[in-house]
Chains A and B, each alone.
Chain A
Amino acid sequence: MNSEAHTNSKTRKNSEARKNSEAQMDPVEYTLRKRLPRKLPKRRNDVYVNMKTDFRAQLARCQKLLEGGGHREICVHGLGLAINRAINIALQLQASSQGALQLAANTSTVELVDDLEPEDPDEAGEPMTRTRNNSAIHIKVFYPDAQ
């Protein structure tokens, strides 16, 4: 499921980074190829939000996990452009539960790798690899323990 979790989210940041890189080097000489972000092993209650799937479907999936799936807590992850959507999903979940759910958000930075492949192989030589950072959010949505 969700194999391409928070993949190529085309963030503004991305394009900025790209513009910067293009300013430095001749754009004709290189092709930019983005690698997938590192994928981490995934528990059943992890939800990786992306921009391709329909918003309602992702929301429904979270609701199913919380209600039918019997999980007391789930984790919603979003990277780059999908941060907004991850927050949106978490807030929607909370609103529809009439206050039963609580949220705890964490942010982090994810290192992404880009490949730059030379167009003219014989002169330019080595293809380059470059890392850049992107923001990510991890929201824990949980029922507080009844005390």
Chain B
Amino acid sequence: MSAAKVKMREKKMRNQPASVQYPSSSSNVESSTQNGADAPGTGKNADPLKGGLSEVHPSTERQKKTPHQSGWVRGHHKDGGGYTKEMPKYVTAGAFARARAAEVSAMLKAVRKTTSSSRVFEALPKHMRRRAMSHNTKRLPHRLREVANRMREKGLQAGSKKKKEQAKSKSRKARRRHGNLLLEFNRRQRKNIWLETHIWHAKRFHMVKKWGYCLGDRPTYKCYRACYRAMSSHCLLQDLSYYCCIELQGDEDKLLAALSQLTSKEAGPTFAAALCLSGRRQGSVMVYRAGWYPSQPLGPVTFLWRPRTQGSVHRQLWIWAHPTLKQDLLPELQTVCQCCEAVLPPAAPVEVNPTLEAESEPENTPEAKPVPGTKRKRSCKDATGPPAKKILGDGTRLRSTPVSWRSSSNGIVINDLTMEIVRYRLIGPQSHSVLVDTLEAATGCDEVPKSQTCSLWWPQHCSDEAKMTLHQQQADIFNILKGIYSTAELPSGTVLGLTVDDPRLTLPRKRVKALPCVKQAQEVDEEKRRKLMLEGVPEPCCQSFIWEQSVRDNVTDNKISEQELNRMRSEVLVPGSRLSPTPLQGRVPILLVEQPGKQVGHEMSSWGAGWDLLLPKGWGMAFWIPLVYRGVRIGGLNMSLKHSQNKAAPHFPRDYPDCPAGMRFQEEQEAELLNKFKRHPPAKRTNYIKHGCVAPFCCPWQQLAEEWEIIVREGGTQTRTTAQADAVTEERTSQQAISITKPPSRFTVLRNRKALKLLSAWCRPTTSKGQRPCRVGELPPISCEAVTSFLSAHAMSLVWVHVSLPSKGKPEYHAMLCVPTPDDLKALGNRQGTGGPQEPPHRDHFKGRIKRRKKDPKKAATPSVTPDKPDGKKADLIFASDLDTNASKDPKSFSESSSDLVLGLWPDPLPSVASHCSRVTVGWVTQGDFSMSAGCGEALGFVSVAGLLNTLLNQTSEHKGKLLLRNPTSLHYRFAKINIEV
């Protein structure tokens, strides 16, 4: 009997009284005699086994049976009446009734008793039911009323008990009251920081919790293409306030000495680059652990020096880093600067504190908590001791957490300015016209009596002649921006300091699209414009008062509230006209930083250039809405990824697999993708083993680098085929066991500019349309010796490549980059239209194992590698019998063994990644998509340097840099061209 039948029977028998025995096929004989049905002589034939036997000997048994064939056949039987039963000739009434008595009483009991969930009226037939019977018992028939009343009372009591336990929630109206709403908001942003534009975003974006922030991922409306168009022809706005700013103060030489440990000149300009040091440009640099240069990178940062003040060596530097990088960077900075003394908040957090207090107090005091049963209003009154204040800056930080560190030896001070400065990014060629439209240089304030001491910063500055001339110069330069037509015309990284009026004052009544105005453009002095384009902003004009803590705090504290502003607007004589005179509080120091667009490669140069707008905290929304009213599109995290992809720039932390933040990102991504994969039913999942994809969710860079290092070392510079590589990697797996004791060297990403230039020249086809043999003479041509010497330094390196697919194909992340065989290249040469070779489907040896594991956990616990096709059925038969015993015994081992085997994925010790498929893998894609700027598939990824050089050596000059790309869910290879762009 199979398991299902047993179950069915159990279900049937569950409600039977114990005394009654339901006749099962095997116990037929005994029960029938027990029931008093006297059937002598039928017992033998009734046995199913006997019935089966009777088939074997039809000649003897059948003849006997045929006269009695008219008996009943109970249920469905395969052999068509395996047993027959004769009708009893007579029934003894007494015995029969006694035998049925228990059955009948059980039935009656079942009918009378109502289960807890059913109501009285449910027992009524349909035609007697009436509307609202449960509410009004009088609608029930009289005989049922009493029962119904009793049940109703019971129900009410239970209901009231449950309600009392819950806190009385406030009415919607009360919850939406401003103070209460703020309290609620403050509570909700205790774990993840909200940006100032959070509520604006939350209404329009899919929000994600990332890196301790709540960030908008992508808009809820469809605008992928529109956002791309905005980036390439108008302007896209992003809130980048989640980037962390770390301020360093100290003497210039000491700062530079400390910081030089973190960087290397080989990887490009450092903190000391002359132009950046003067404060005229923003610089970007890759930071390493102190003194570790080629290994142990931390991540990329951008930095900004404050321009020098005359006769002072004291400098101020802002380092902007991604939040995931900050936790690595800050301790490193503290060690190199020897800043270990935490300065307990003297000035900075003081004005943060009251807001924090206001936020925490009403929640921590026990009276403030809504006590169940008390009236809402009273509890509300209690809570409003100090009015709730909006959190500005970092709300998650504890009050006692230090934000400032000082060094006793060299006088350097580190300040953590996270969330102190708002940073908006405008991307697109028209971003300057949006800025020019939105912002207006601050107007002076002559009418204020100078004797009057004023707490505001602007009137004080107005009295200073030097500061006003500087302001005038800055305003002039800002006006020249009207004369340019594209943001990319300016030198990249230009910095411009400015003081502007409150942009809310000039808010247009309707959303307009800011466009460059030809008329205004012609007014601008041609000479000045040319000077700006060639030389950028002169040094003094890069100065801004946003650098000063006191001014920032002053501006933040004295911001006019929206309510106040609206009141002032309503008092204006002509409705809709500008407020005049401008209220004194409405002057904000800002900093404008030009962001360079695409800088590498020949095509689409300076695509995606734009401006960054830095504001003191608290002013976020005051600038956001006016910018939005200038017709910009808003992008989220998703768009910043696409922006960097189109710029062919690596995106932090996704494209930094050797940094700690990048590794964390990879782990998170793997877990997320695996979860998503497991959510599909097994039959609907892609079987990655069959697709020959070893690591669809996480790229094992370390393993790749190691394998290629061994391949190259073993094979020297000989030409090798797939088979040879295969053999070597097998060797490697055997070697692995031995070499475990040896400390493994970590892979690194190649960032040495000279080496990159050399590689870039090598993988360019030398004779191709549109490509000049550029400076080949100066660099050594690719040869065995050159490659060996190169590899001696960078054998364990990966290199960042830009991949474009000339024909079809849309690359996805984690697509494999493989080496084409000579035959593939020949086929490519013959017919351009060929789509590329196919990978033969692989066999999934683990599928059977998983199946068996499900059936029999005991056997699966002992690993068996034998393929299992033939014994499948037998195993099925044997294991089914003792299934129920096993399953109950060891569920633990079952869960353990099944956790590491997922259908369609390779279990953990991965096979050789390089030579797993018919084409040797050299790398993977980290981000890829159809590129709307190039009109074909484009991807960015890493390849192993050793693998790449090995490939290049064997390729003819016309096919230099041609690789194959294959998506993890496909068996089709596509030809791809790789470029290393420096």
Residues in A lying within 8 Å of B, measured CB to CB:
3-4, 7-8, 10, 15, 27-28, 33-36, 38-41, 52, 113, 115, 119-122, 124-127, 129, 131
Contact = CB atoms under 8 A, between A and B. Distances in A.
A38 B485 contact: yes
Nearest to B281: A127
Contact of A33 (B272, B274, B275, B599): B599
Contact of A121 (B265, B604, B606): B265
Interface string B463-495: 000000000000000000000011011011000
B935 to A, nearest CB: 10
A4 B604 contact: yes
Contacts of B772: 15
A10 B492 CA distance: 22
A129 B534 contact: yes
B753 interface: yes
A122 to B, nearest CB: 6
A127 B281 CA distance: 11
Contacts of B533: 113
Given A38-B485, A41-B485, A129-B535, A122 B272 contact: yes
A34 B772 CA distance: 16
A34 B597 CA distance: 12
B250 interface: no
Interface in B268-286: 269-270, 272-275
B594 to A, nearest CB: 12
B232 interface: yes
29 contacts: A8-B602, A8-B603, A8-B605, A10-B602, A10-B770, A27-B775, A27-B778, A28-B778, A33-B605, A35-B488, A35-B606, A36-B486, A38-B485, A38-B489, A39-B485, A41-B485, A41-B518, A52-B603, A115-B491, A115-B492, A120-B265, A121-B272, A121-B274, A122-B270, A122-B274, A125-B274, A125-B275, A126-B274, A126-B275
A7 to B, nearest CB: 7
Nearest to B772: A15
Given A34-B605, A36-B486, A121 B269 contact: yes
Q: Is the interface of B mostly helix, strand, loop or mixed?
A: loop
A115 B599 CA distance: 11
Nearest to A125: B274
B734 to A, nearest CB: 46
Interface string B534-556: 11000000000000000000000
Interface string B267-307: 00110111100000000000000000000000000000000
Contacts of B429: 3, 39
Contact of A41 (B272, B516, B604, B775): B516
B788 interface: no
B273 A36 contact: no
A8 B275 CA distance: 26
B233 interface: yes
A10 B605 CA distance: 13
Given A121-B269, A121-B273, A126-B274, A35 B489 contact: yes
Interface of B: 232-233, 265, 269-270, 272-275, 429, 485-486, 488-489, 491-492, 516, 518, 533-535, 599, 602-606, 753, 770, 772, 775, 778
Contacts of A121: 265, 269-270, 272-274
Of B270, B606, B775, chain A has the most CB atoms within 10 Å of the CB of: B606
B209 to A, nearest CB: 37
B778 A129 contact: no
A3 to B, nearest CB: 6
B403 to A, nearest CB: 32
A129 B269 CA distance: 18
B275 A36 contact: no
A41 B483 CA distance: 11
A8 B603 CA distance: 8
Nearest to B273: A121
Quick one: which of B270, B534, B535, B770 has the most chain A CB within 10 A?
B534
A115 to B, nearest CB: 7
A131 B232 CA distance: 25
A55 B269 CA distance: 42
A40 B535 CA distance: 21
A52 B605 CA distance: 13
A109 to B, nearest CB: 14
Q: Which of A113, A115, A121 has the most CB of B within 10 A?
A: A121
B270 A36 contact: no
Contacts of A122: 265, 270, 272-274
B284 to A, nearest CB: 12
Contacts of A115: 491-492
Contacts of A119: 753
A25 to B, nearest CB: 14
- Among B270, B273, B753, B775, the one with the most A-chain Cβ atoms within 10 Å of its Cβ is B273
Given A41-B485, A113-B489, A115-B492, 20 more contacts: A7-B605, A8-B602, A8-B605, A10-B770, A15-B772, A33-B599, A35-B489, A36-B489, A36-B606, A39-B486, A41-B516, A113-B533, A113-B534, A120-B265, A121-B265, A121-B270, A121-B272, A121-B273, A121-B274, A129-B491
A91 to B, nearest CB: 25
A33 B599 CA distance: 8
- 4 closest A-B pairs (Cβ-Cβ)? A121-B273, A121-B269, A125-B274, A39-B485
A108 B492 CA distance: 28
A4 to B, nearest CB: 7
A81 B170 CA distance: 73
Contacts of A34: 605
A7 B516 CA distance: 20
Max chain B C-beta neighbours (<10 A), residue from A7, A35, A113, A124: A35
A127 B534 contact: no
A47 B753 CA distance: 40
Contact of A3 (B232, B274, B275, B753): B232
B432 to A, nearest CB: 12
Contacts of B270: 121-122
A38 B606 CA distance: 13
A3 B491 contact: no
- Best-surrounded residue of A36, A124, A125 (most CB of chain B within 10 A): A36
Contacts of B265: 120-122
